[in-house]
């Protein structure tokens, strides 16, 4: 795993109530930044952060993502 200097590390938190669009925001950030080629969607079960089967079935995040 690549090592990074602490001066180059940025931590970001996306907080909000259930259904406020946190996962959609995270997907948009990943897409716009070029980290992914296609923006995932919760309704289509293609979001990067909702990778658990339970999350995809409930269309809702159940755990934190890094």
Is 1 inside a domain boundary?
Answer: no
30 assigned to some structural domain: yes
Residue 20 lies in a domain: yes
In a domain, 64, yes or no: no
**What is the model's pTM?**
0.68
Number of domains in the chain: 1
Q: 11 in a domain, yes or no?
A: yes
pLDDT more than 90, % of the chain? 21
Tell me the C-alpha distance between 38 and 47, whole Å.
Answer: 10
Residue range 2-27, pLDDT digits in tens: 898 999 888 888 888 888 888 889 88
Q: How far apart are CA 59 and CA 51, in angstroms?
A: 11
pLDDT tens sequence across 35-65: 899 998 888 878 887 777 787 767 777 666 6
Q: Which domain holds residue 24?
A: 6-58
In a domain, 40, yes or no: yes
Note the residue count of the chain: 66
């Amino acid at each position: 795993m690549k090592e990074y200097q602490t001066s180059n590390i940025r931590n970001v938190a996306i907080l909000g109530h259930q259904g406020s669009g946190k996962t959609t925001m995270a997907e948009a950030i990943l897409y716009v930044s070029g980290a992914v080629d296609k923006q995932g969607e919760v309704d289509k079960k293609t979001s990067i952060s909702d990778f658990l089967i339970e999350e995809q079935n409930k269309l809702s995040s159940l755990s934190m993502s890094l």
